[in-house]
Every structure is written in C-alpha cells, then in structure tokens.
C-alpha cells in the first residue's frame, strides 16, 4: 500500500500544481481584463467632457454635432482608431472603456473623463489662427489645469481618416507637446541661469554694447535683429530688446558665467544637454518632449546661439509654459499640468480626481521673483495695449526654421492676477504668411477663458 500511496502523491502533486496555476490565471485575467478589452475591436467607450460639461469626444458615436465641432481638440483628445497614439483618448482607453469584468461591456455605461479644458476658449483660439498654423497652450499656474491646448492644422475625428496621405504635416499631433525652436523665449532660461549663477546684483551691473552684430572670440558673427544696434544695455534692456549680441557676450563671460554652471542649471530646468537622454513630461498619459540643447564651448557659435534660442536648442511650448509657472508662482517650482480633472467609472462613480502637483525646485525663489519682475516690466513697457486689460509678464521670440526660410513667432508669459492665474505659450508658424500676431492670440485667449 505504501508504494500505491506514492502514486497518489504524484497525482496530488500534479493536481495541486495545476490548481495553483489556475488560481494564478484567474487572478491574472481578473486584474488584466480591462487591458485585454482595450485591445478589443468591440470597445464601447464613454465620453470626454470639457470643464463646463461640453462634449469633447463621443465614444458612443451616437451624438449629433455641428460640422468641425471637435476640430480644435482633435489632435489632443484623439480617438481609439489607432491613427493618433499620443492623445488623451488613446492613452486613457482603460478609463473610458464601458467595461467591467462583472458586468461585461455595457452600452449605456457612464465611464467618462472630465477634462480641465475650456472648449469655448479653445475654439476661440483655434479660430483666431484663421488660415495660419501653430499652436497655443494655457494653464492655471496655481492648480495645473490645462485650459487651452490647440494645435493647427487639426482634424475632426468624427470625419475619419479618408485621404490621410494628403493630410498636412503635423495634423495628427498636438504641436504643444513637441519640441520646436524657441527663438528669443530661450533668453528667459539664460537669464534665469545667469541669476542663479552670478546673482541679481552682479547680473544687473553687467553692461554690453550692441552695434547690430557681435564678433565672438572665435571670429564668428552674431547678428542682432536691430541692424543699427541697441548701444550699451543692461540685462533688463537686453531682455526687452531681445538683443542677441548682449546675450552672446554674456555667455562668453566665462569668469562670471562658467559654461559648466549654465549646463548644470539647464539640466536642472529639464534640458537634455549635449548627449543626455531625451526625456518626457507625462500629462495624463500624453508624452510631452522635454527641452534639449548643445552647449560645448562658451566661445562657440552654436553654443552662444543655443543660449539665445537658435542653434540646437529645442523646447516644447508646454515646457516653455511650465517655466512661466515657476516664475509666476515666485517659488521656482513648476506647477505640473494636467488635463484630467476627474474620471467616472461604468456606474458613474468618481474614481480618479486630479491633484495639484509641483516639480522640484528648478531655481531659487529669489531668481523667480527677479525674472518675474523683469517680465512684468517687459509686459508693462511693450504689451499694455496689445494685451489690454491684463497685467502680463511676457517674453516674445522669433525662431528661424527650415534653414531660415521661415520664421515662427512665439510668446510666453503669465497673467499677474490671483483671479486669473494663467501661464501660456503661443506659437504662430511662418508668421510672415499672415498678419496674425501672438499678442492678438493671447488677448483672445485670455478674454475667452472662463475660470468660474
């Protein structure tokens, strides 16, 4: 009988191992079922709403909407068709899926994403571009709620993707999330670095001459947009004038502004410098590219242009806007942006609710307050009429792209108003193709945003 017992042990062992495996399988299926259903062709998705309850995406496909109703958010909100992957819907299918393992797929489920976007403001900004292209993003720098995020050209996802091969380049992405040449808006980062490294007093004591161009120590010429030159200037004047020779001479001042320290500060602000690995900012699943630049030698042409805003420097509009939040808050900490305010499950219960988060300190509060005042002065001196009704701190930029064939216009800034704490970045591509200015877009944007 003892020998027969052994065969029973073996049978028991086989059965126990199998049952253990089955238990693991059931747990695996139970926990991953929603992921499996995200890969199903028979998804029943819920809705995406804006901050006022307006529809931004209709997963049921049953609603009736006017023509191009979703075009201003098309490449940000996206859909589940797989053509646009870096979008809110594509990255949050699990939250939108009207499915639970217990109930299965429910056609009239209440899974929904409630975003922080203001669809009216977004549409107004989109329409303001007319035939011109570009992108604009704005958020509440106190809470991190993204209010406006539009990118042109775009697509109304309800119309499908017929003729996709003829779509204009950039139609299927939100350009706010991707790096572009920052132009003179980069000078904000350079001023921040200089303030951090040499301090306010020393930086303000610096004065350089601009004769319309500057020949650096390597013999390369840095041109200013003002051919007649700005004359002797301090940092405030140079920032307001966006004077390239001033900043080239500042970067070349290796004694008070060592390049290694600039690189260190840039990295602190999130730049991938030289061969650093490119990183991303996660905004509710949407991947936003972080900045990058090349800084080799303070006398080198490319390095100097990198600090001025050309060269190899690339920054996404979202990141430019986030730096403005660190300035506007006066803390040196960026407010992390988010698009999702809250999420409801299949039964309509709120599951996820957004929380305001801040980055680690990227520069000191003293630096933040100094640069904040500099930008506000710039706003007061140059933008009172064009962005009327708002106390703004701003910095404009013009970026040469396509080997200098085209110029993009940028404007970054913030509103100094506790009732309308908005930071923004506006980009108009090929600015000379039309008459639209970034200030006009900013004015329309700020007027149309309703924070109540």
Partner 1 sequence: MYINVFLYTISCIFVLLSHSAMLLNVYFNGSSESTANVIILAVAVLGLDFAYFIIMLMFKQRTYAIDFLLILILNMSVIFQSCFGGVHLSVKHYITCIVSLVACKLGYMICKNHKWLQMQKKYIYLAIGILILAILTLTGSRSMWINIGSISIQPSEFIKPLFVLACATSVAEQQKKHKFLWFYVVYENFALYGLTAVICLLQWWCSDLGSLPTFVGIFICGFFLRICYPKAKFSKKTLISAGVILLIVALIALRFAPDYVQERLHADIWNDKTGNGYQQSHALIAIADGGWFGKGPGNGSLCNIFAHENDIVFATISEEWGLLFALMVILAILIMIAVPLINPPRSYYHSTMSAGVCAYFIMQMTLNIFGSCNMIPFTGVTIPLISAGGSSMATSGFMVGMLIAAQSPEFKNPDGRQYRNAPVRRRTA
3-state secondary structure 138-177: EEECCCCEEEEEEEECCCCHHHCCCCHHHCCCCCCCCHHH
Q: Which stretch binds partner 1 (CB under 8 A): 10-18, 345-353, 405-413, 430-438?
A: 10-18
Q: Which stretch binds partner 1 (CB under 8 A): 18-26, 171-179, 238-246, 378-386?
A: 18-26
Q: Are 58 and 156 in contact (CB under 8 A)?
A: no
**Binding test (CB under 8 A) with partner 1, winner from 7, 64, 255, 452:** 7
Instruction: Please report how close the Cβ of residue 34 comes to partner 1 at its closest, in angstroms.
Output: 8
Query: What are the b/e assignments for 109-129, b being 16+ CB within 10 Å?
Result: bebbbbbbbbbbbbbbbbebb
Instruction: Please report how close the Cβ of residue 61 comes to partner 1 at its closest, in angstroms.
Output: 19
Supply angle C-alpha 186, 405, 382, rounded to 5.
Answer: 40
Q: Which stretch binds partner 1 (CB under 8 A): 2-10, 167-175, 234-242, 368-376?
A: 2-10
**Binding test (CB under 8 A) with partner 1, winner from 61, 67, 102, 452:** 102
- Please identify, using beta-carbon distances, which residue of 91 and 233 lies nearer to partner 1: 91
Q: Is 2 in the site for partner 1 (CB under 8 A)?
A: yes
Instruction: Please report how close the Cβ of residue 244 comes to partner 1 at its closest, in angstroms.
Output: 47
Instruction: Please report how close the Cβ of residue 11 comes to partner 1 at its closest, in angstroms.
Output: 5
Instruction: Please report how close the Cβ of residue 84 comes to partner 1 at its closest, in angstroms.
Output: 18
- Give the pair of three-digit tokens for residue 77: 């909100």
Spatial CB neighbours of 322, under 8 Å, sequence gap ≥ 6 = 281, 334, 335, 336, 337, 359, 423
- Please identify, using beta-carbon distances, which residue of 22 and 350 lies nearer to partner 1: 22
Please give the torsion angle defined by the CA atoms of residues 300, 241, 234 and 214, in that order, rounded to the nearest 10 degrees: 30
| Binding footprint of partner 1, residue count (CB under 8 A) | 38
Instruction: Please report how close the Cβ of residue 21 comes to partner 1 at its closest, in angstroms.
Output: 6
**Binding test (CB under 8 A) with partner 1, winner from 69, 82, 89, 103:** 103
CA atoms within 13 A on the CB side of 259: 18
Beta partners for 97? 45
Binding mask 81-100 for partner 1 (x = CB under 8 A): ------------------xx
- Please identify, using beta-carbon distances, which residue of 32 and 402 lies nearer to partner 1: 32
> Cα dist. 172→52, 68, 90, 153, 426 in Å?
25, 15, 12, 8, 19
Please, which contacts does 416-422 make with residues 24 or more away whose CB atoms are closer than 8 Å? 416/328, 416/372, 416/376, 416/391, 416/392, 417/390, 417/391, 419/451, 420/390, 420/446, 420/449, 420/451, 421/140, 421/141, 421/142, 421/328, 422/138, 422/139, 422/140, 422/141, 422/147, 422/446, 422/449
Q: Are 96 and 46 in contact (CB under 8 A)?
A: yes
- Please identify, using beta-carbon distances, which residue of 22 and 221 lies nearer to partner 1: 22
Instruction: Please report how close the Cβ of residue 174 comes to partner 1 at its closest, in angstroms.
Output: 25
Q: Are 210 and 231 in contact (CB under 8 A)?
A: yes
- Please identify, using beta-carbon distances, which residue of 21 and 130 lies nearer to partner 1: 21
Q: Which of residues 25-84 bind partner 1 (CB under 8 A)?
A: 25-26, 28-29, 32-34, 36-37, 39-40, 42
Residue 410's φ and ψ, nearest 5 degrees, are -125, 155
Q: Which stretch binds partner 1 (CB under 8 A): 22-30, 126-134, 196-204, 442-450?
A: 22-30
- CA 196 to CA 204: how far, in whole Å? 13
- Please identify, using beta-carbon distances, which residue of 24 and 164 lies nearer to partner 1: 24
Q: Is 11 in the site for partner 1 (CB under 8 A)?
A: yes
Instruction: Please report how close the Cβ of residue 286 comes to partner 1 at its closest, in angstroms.
Output: 20
Residue 335's φ and ψ, nearest 5 degrees, are -85, 125
Positions that interact with partner 1 (CB under 8 A): 1-8, 10-12, 14-15, 17-19, 21-22, 24-26, 28-29, 32-34, 36-37, 39-40, 42, 99-105
């Amino acid at each position: 009988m003892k020998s027969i017992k052994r065969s029973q042990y073996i049978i028991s062992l086989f059965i126990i191992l199998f049952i253990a495996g089955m238990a693991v399988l059931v747990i695996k299926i139970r926990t991953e079922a929603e992921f499996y259903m995200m890969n199903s062709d028979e998804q029943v998705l819920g809705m995406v709403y804006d901050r006022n309850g307006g529809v931004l995406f209709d997963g049921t496909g049953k609603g009736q909407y006017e023509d191009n109703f979703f075009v201003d958010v098309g490449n940000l909100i996206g859909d589940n068709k797989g053509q646009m992957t870096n979008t809110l819907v594509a990255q949050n299918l699990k939250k939108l899926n009207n499915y639970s393992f217990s109930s299965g797929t429910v056609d009239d489920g209440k899974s929904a994403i409630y975003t922080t976007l203001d669809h009216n403001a977004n549409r107004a900004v989109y329409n303001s571009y007319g035939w011109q292209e570009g992108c604009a993003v704005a958020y509440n720098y106190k809470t991190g709620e993204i209010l406006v995020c539009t990118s042109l050209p775009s697509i109304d996802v309800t119309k499908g993707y017929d003729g996709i091969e003829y779509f204009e380049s950039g139609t299927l992405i939100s350009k706010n999330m991707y790096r572009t040449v920052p132009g003179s808006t980069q000078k904000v980062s350079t001023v921040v670095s200089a303030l951090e490294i040499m301090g306010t007093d020393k930086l303000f004591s610096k004065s350089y001459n601009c004769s319309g161009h500057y020949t650096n120590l390597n013999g390369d010429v840095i041109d200013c947009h003002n051919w007649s030159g700005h004359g002797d200037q301090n940092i405030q004047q140079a920032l307001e004038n966006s004077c390239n020779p001033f900043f080239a001479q500042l970067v070349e001042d290796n004694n008070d502004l060592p390049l290694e320290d600039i690189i260190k500060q840039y990295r602190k602000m999130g730049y991938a410098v030289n061969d650093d690995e490119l990183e991303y900012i996660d905004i509710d699943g949407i991947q936003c590219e972080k900045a990058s630049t090349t800084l080799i030698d303070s006398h080198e042409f490319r390095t100097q242009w990198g600090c001025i805003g050309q060269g190899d420097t690339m920054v996404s509009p979202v990141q430019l806007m986030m730096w403005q939040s660190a300035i506007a808050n006066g803390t040196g900490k960026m407010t992390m942006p988010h698009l999702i305010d809250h999420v409801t499950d299949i039964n309509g219960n709120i599951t996820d609710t957004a929380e305001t988060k801040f980055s680690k300190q990227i520069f000191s509060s003293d630096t933040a307050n100094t640069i904040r005042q500099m930008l506000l002065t710039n706003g007061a001196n140059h933008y009172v009429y064009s962005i009327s009704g708002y106390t703004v701190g701003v910095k404009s930029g013009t970026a040469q792209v396509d080997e200098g064939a085209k110029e993009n216009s940028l404007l970054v800034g913030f509103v100094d108003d506790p009732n309308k704490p908005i930071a923004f970045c506006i980009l108009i591509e090929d600015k000379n193709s039309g008459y639209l200015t970034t200030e006009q877009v900013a004015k329309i944007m700020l007027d149309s945003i309703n924070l109540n």
